[in-house]
Amino acid sequence: MSQSPFIKIRRDLHKIPELGFQEVKTQNYLLKYIESLPKDRYEIRTWRTGLFVKVLGTAPTKTIGYRTDIDGLPIEEQTNLPFSSEHEGRMHACGHDFHMSIALGVLTHIVEHPIKDDMLFIFQPAEEGPGGAEPMLKSVEFQAWRPDLILALHIAPEYPVGTIAIKEGLLFANTSELFIDLKGKGGHAAYPHQTNDMVVAASYLVTQLQSIISRNVDPLDSAVITIGKITGGTVQNIIAETARLEGTIRTLSVESMQKVKKRIEALVKGIENGFECEVKIDYGSMYHQVYNHEQPTKAFMKYLEKNQNVSLYVCKEAMTGEDFGYMLKEIPGFMFWLGVDSPYGLHHAKLEPNEDAIDFAISVLTDYLVGV
């Protein structure tokens, strides 16, 4: 059996991961592919490093939006795959190569076999940060072609191929990035009494931040604070004048996000007083929760129940974030998890999703879209 063209496309895209708003090669690749399709049914508009593609329906009464993200992550790939990333320190470790090839598969099918309604395909940059969905939503192009219903998927390494996991209501958390800069007084490693050591201050702060989760957030309303990166100091025998923490906050409710931030600010004040230093907080980019609308989600689940090739799993909410949440805040629709069966999870250097999921997703989506 010959290999699916969308597996080749996934592999091509896997080789060229680019960070948010730097997706120049990716945009060119997508454009070149889409422009190779018969031209009479669609129109393309570029938006920064992203794209909008409108495909005309046969007797449209509405527009259905389908969104894929297109950016990669700052991770050095460790899969040893023959089509590994050619970009040092960059990897499609969150499945956006899968998301794009599936979107191209659905787009190709819809161009070749038009459905009744119009479709808007959204190739969105910068999902991992700083966030492309919100500005794309506000763009002139989006407003002109605004869909009435919108959907998207995310790969899920923990489920087998053939599984689609979804739930009504909250699917993904509210997120906020977190950057904390500490500035004290450096000096000789042997004279700590003459300095304010920011490595020590930052270490205290990291452990204090975890007390917010265990002591301030209602245990039934979960939250996460992850510090993914710490930098500070210059060399082993100099006391550090500066340190920086980089992390992310996740909450299931908007109220908890506000509470967590207030507590961070209070703890930071304590560190400033206790260590006689200056501390600055920057919350970077924030994503609205992904909230699946009741009616379209129910209808999709009903469709999945009837499709014998699909194993439908009603999942719990996750602490992952997705700026697709901004689109769902304004337009009815849903997001779902697509099983890809990888022993290593999202954001891991050895993530290796099963490519059988690509044609499976294209076939489920194209079949579903005929009846929407």
Ligand X SMILES: CC(=O)N[C@@H](CCC[C@H](N)C(=O)O)C(=O)O
Q: Which residues are annotated as a binding site?
A: 94, 96, 128, 154, 347
Could you tell me the smallest distance in angstroms from the CB atom of residue 28 to ligand X? 25
Active site residues: 69, 128
Side-chain-side CA neighbours of 53 within 13 Å: the count stands at 28
- Closer residue to ligand X, CB minimum distance, 177 or 359: 177
Could you tell me the smallest distance in angstroms from the CB atom of residue 346 to ligand X? 5
Return d(Cα 349, Cα 327) in angstroms, integer. 29
Q: Which of 259, 260, 258, 254 is nearest to 224 (CA)?
A: 260
Write the single-letter amino acid at 118: D
| Total residues in contact with ligand X, by rule CB under 6 A | 12
- Residue 153 · residue 336 · CB < 8 Å: yes
Taking CB under 6 A as the criterion, the residue among 19, 94, 209, 240 binding ligand X is: 94
Q: Which of 66, 83, 82, 78 is nearest to 10 (CA)?
A: 83
Return d(Cα 256, Cα 262) in angstroms, integer. 10
- Closer residue to ligand X, CB minimum distance, 70 or 111: 70
- Closer residue to ligand X, CB minimum distance, 118 or 128: 128
- Closer residue to ligand X, CB minimum distance, 198 or 361: 361
**Apex CA 363: angle with CA 7 and CA 5, to 5°?**
25
Could you tell me the smallest distance in angstroms from the CB atom of residue 195 to ligand X? 32
Could you tell me the smallest distance in angstroms from the CB atom of residue 24 to ligand X? 21
Helix (H, G, I), strand (E, B) or coil at 303: helix
Taking CB under 6 A as the criterion, the residue among 108, 289, 292, 320 binding ligand X is: 320
Does 97 participate in binding ligand X (rule CB under 6 A)?
no
Does 321 participate in binding ligand X (rule CB under 6 A)?
yes
Return d(Cα 16, Cα 21) in angstroms, integer. 14
Does 47 participate in binding ligand X (rule CB under 6 A)?
no
Does 353 participate in binding ligand X (rule CB under 6 A)?
no
Does 129 participate in binding ligand X (rule CB under 6 A)?
yes
Phi, psi of 108 (to 5 degrees): -60, -45
Could you tell me the smallest distance in angstroms from the CB atom of residue 276 to ligand X? 31
C-alpha radius of gyration, the chain, whole number = 23
Residue in the block written with tokens 């669609």: 42
Could you tell me the smallest distance in angstroms from the CB atom of residue 90 to ligand X? 15
Does 128 participate in binding ligand X (rule CB under 6 A)?
yes
Return d(Cα 155, Cα 98) in angstroms, integer. 8
Which range binds ligand X by CB under 6 A, 8-16, 80-88, 229-237, 315-323? Answer: 315-323
Does 175 participate in binding ligand X (rule CB under 6 A)?
yes
| Residues in 248-307 at the binding interface with ligand X, rule: CB under 6 A | 248, 287
Residue in the block written with tokens 């003459």: 194
Tokens of 124: 């969105």
Instruction: Tell me the angle at which helices 198-215 and 254-275 cross, rounded to the nearest 10 degrees.
Output: 150
- Closer residue to ligand X, CB minimum distance, 33 or 324: 324
Return d(Cα 90, Cα 77) in angstroms, integer. 7
SS3 of 69-96: ECCCECCCCCCCCCCCCCCCCCECCCCH
- Binding site for Mn(2+), residues? 94, 96, 128, 154, 347
Does 118 participate in binding ligand X (rule CB under 6 A)?
no
Return d(Cα 343, Cα 162) in angstroms, integer. 16
- Closer residue to ligand X, CB minimum distance, 42 or 326: 326
Helix (H, G, I), strand (E, B) or coil at 230: strand
Return d(Cα 288, Cα 176) in angstroms, integer. 9
Which range binds ligand X by CB under 6 A, 199-207, 264-272, 314-322, 351-359? Answer: 314-322
Does 17 participate in binding ligand X (rule CB under 6 A)?
no
| Residues in 219-248 at the binding interface with ligand X, rule: CB under 6 A | 248
Taking CB under 6 A as the criterion, the residue among 34, 156, 346, 364 binding ligand X is: 346
- Closer residue to ligand X, CB minimum distance, 108 or 124: 124
Binding site for ligand X (CB under 6 A): 94, 128-129, 154, 175, 177, 248, 287, 320-322, 346
